[in-house]
Amino acid sequence: MQKVMQEATYEAMQEAMQSNMLVCADNLAFLPRLAAESVDLAYLDPPFNTGRHFVGRKGSLAADAVFHDTPAHFAVDPKVAAHLAENFAALTAWLKGMAAVSAPSLIAYLNFMAPRVVALHRVLKPTGSLFLHCDERTAHGLRGLLDAVFGHDQFRNHVIWNYHAGGASRRWYARRHDDLLFYSKSSAYQFRVQREPYAPRTAIARKNIAKFHPDGRMLTDVWQISRLGNNDKAERVGYPTQKPLALLHRIIRGSSEEGAVVLDPFCGSGTTLLAAEQLGRRWIGCDSAPEAIAVVEARLRQQCPDTPYTTAPPPGA
């Protein structure tokens, strides 16, 4: 179920928030069109600054997907940079400081991310939270960027998503985790305790059994969730950076309630949107690649054919 929305109705639709929304656009052009303080949870899985070009798996739903994760694609409009310099002096000073000690590729990446993080901060409700997905290449820089925008006192967790897939090296420890940087808009953020089963060999003395929760232990900041593999055919769509639904289910359950608005400004294969739909949340997805939007719509048709959502042309189209 789908409805095409004209650009002139962005604000009216957003004010009512009666519909899910899927937009093909650069998120930096789209985010300013959203109402301030209208989003409960933002999850973003942006480029990782890998220096690589990604393509979808042949013969898959995402066979036509192509995107570039290189410094050449992190160019910043001079007008955007000037706006940051004029209105966010502390952030601009931090970026200049980082430029003195960091690789040019990281600085290009941080300059690309900075205005997007500022835009996301604006649309989050006071009770809202943000999860930024990254890895060891950029986690240290993005922590500083988020501190500069959200405030270091709004940092909540540096979650480690640990998985078993991946190669090994004789020159360093095997890299088998991603990083999730969890920040809130204020101290009044939404958070729900989640639990997981105790380890199989956890010994519970009879005198202590009342101290153990029937649903298991509270989650820590290290999450053991498998990456999608060849055996996950029912979920895997061939998108090169697709994340598992189990990961997004955990984030959404912990930081939002039913009916909340979940935003993914780099929605890629649409996992965040599908997870939000399955958990009874409303969602907004944005991606600059038409091929990614096509994958999202195909997944929605296959798994949630009755889900209403609104599509829109890029701002200014």
- Of 81-85, 113-117, 183-187, the range with the lowest mean pLDDT is 81-85
Q: What percent of the chain has pLDDT over 70?
A: 89
The reported pLDDT for the residue numbered 208 is: 64
Interval 119-168: pLDDT, tens: 999 999 999 999 999 999 999 999 999 999 999 999 999 999 999 877 78
Interval 35-68: pLDDT, tens: 999 999 999 999 988 877 777 777 787 777 777 7
Residue-range domains of the chain with CATH: 36-73+117-304 (3.40.50.150)
Confidence of residue 209 (pLDDT cuts 50, 70, 90): low
C-alpha count within 13 angstroms, C-beta hemisphere, residue 21: 31
Strand residue runs (E) in the chain: 2-4, 20-24, 39-44, 52-55, 66-69, 124-134, 155-162, 177-184, 195-196, 217-218, 222-224, 261-264, 282-287, 309-312
Is the pLDDT at 70 greater than 50? The verdict is yes
The reported pLDDT for the residue numbered 147 is: 97
Is the pLDDT at 8 greater than 90? The verdict is no
Instruction: Using the structure block, give the residue that is written with the tokens 């570039």.
Output: 68
Across the chain, mean pLDDT equals 89
Predicted structure pTM score: 0.91
Is the pLDDT at 14 greater than 60? The verdict is no
Residues 153 and 57: their CA atoms lie apart, in Å, by 42
Are the CB atoms for 180 and 221 separated by under 8 Å?
A: no
